[in-house]
């Protein structure tokens, strides 16, 4: 456990270096890093602890940190086909993608050929003889589909646009659930200054 490890580290430092100042600085860092790790906080090294002590702004990668890290379909907004068909096409096109958003689409709607994944944009595939593009607005521009903004749902998650044979078919909102203790964690960090 941590106390045993700390005692061994202290013994090593006392034997190898009897100067109190040289002993106290590393010991403080060891204790801080060890204490943080026992609470699930990983700090790469003592220089990062020093930087953390003077930080006045914290930026989180929210996926998996403040959220559950499990995406799910939060809304389907068709414009060319019905909701079921839009979700069905999006799920089929994203079927072979390894992206977490693709996994959410596959789960929502568990004969694709000619699949091509375009990094940072999305996936294009043939589904029952129709060319279906699923991805970002940049992909929609690339395939010539006149996409529309997702009104009122932009803050709910990631918007995935769908085009069929170059015509805009609608969009699907993929959302992640916020962890129950995320708000309290942010309040606590803010209270600490």
Query: Quick one: pLDDT band at residue 110, thresholds 50, 70, 90?
Result: very low
Q: For 171, which DSSP code?
A: E
Using a 10 angstrom Cβ sphere, with 0-12 exposed, 13-18 middle and 19 or more buried, the burial of residue 19 is exposed
Hunting for tokens 């944009």 — which residue is that? Answer: 121
- How far apart CA 140 and CA 102 sit, in angstroms, is 17
pLDDT at 84 over 90: no
CA 35, 37, 41 angle in degrees (round to 5)?
A: 115
pLDDT at 138 over 90: yes
Mean pLDDT estimate for the chain: 76
The CA-based dihedral angle spanning residues 100, 104, 106, 107, taken in that order and rounded to the nearest 10 degrees: 130
Range 41-50 average pLDDT = 79
Tokens of 39: 């609470």
pLDDT in tens, 2-26: 667 767 776 666 666 555 555 556 6
Q: By C-alpha distance, which of 174, 156, 172 is closest to 88?
A: 172
Q: For 69, which DSSP code?
A: E
Query: Quick one: pLDDT band at residue 91, thresholds 50, 70, 90?
Result: confident
Range 117-133 average pLDDT = 84
Range 169-191 average pLDDT = 84
CA 31, 40, 68 angle in degrees (round to 5)?
A: 165
Range 108-112 average pLDDT = 53
Range 113-118 average pLDDT = 75
Range 72-97 average pLDDT = 76
- pTM higher than the cut 0.85: no
Tell me if residue 61 is catalytic.
Answer: yes
Q: For 154, which DSSP code?
A: G
Catalytic residue among 61, 111, 114, 155: 61
pLDDT at 109 over 60: no
- How far apart CA 122 and CA 16 sit, in angstroms, is 58
- How far apart CA 85 and CA 83 sit, in angstroms, is 6
């Amino acid at each position: 456990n941590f106390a045993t490890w700390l005692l061994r580290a202290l013994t090593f430092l006392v034997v190898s270096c009897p100067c109190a100042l040289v002993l106290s600085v590393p010991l403080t860092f060891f204790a801080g890093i060890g204490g943080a790790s026992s609470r699930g906080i990983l700090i790469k090294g003592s220089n990062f602890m020093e930087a953390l002590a003077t930080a006045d702004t914290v930026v989180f990668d929210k996926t998996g940190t403040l959220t559950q890290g499990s995406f799910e379909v939060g809304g389907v907004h068709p414009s060319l086909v019905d909701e079921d068909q839009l979700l069905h096409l999006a799920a089929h096109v994203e079927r072979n993608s390894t992206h977490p958003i693709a996994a959410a689409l596959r789960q929502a709607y568990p004969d694709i050929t000619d699949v091509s994944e375009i990094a940072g944009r999305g996936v294009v595939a043939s589904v029952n003889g129709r060319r279906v593009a699923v991805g970002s607005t940049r992909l929609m521009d690339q395939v010539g589909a006149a996409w529309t903004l997702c009104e009122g749902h932009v803050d709910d998650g990631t918007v995935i646009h769908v085009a069929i044979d170059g015509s805009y078919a609608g969009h699907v909102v993929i959302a992640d659930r916020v962890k129950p203790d995320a708000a309290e964690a942010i309040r606590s960090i803010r209270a600490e200054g």
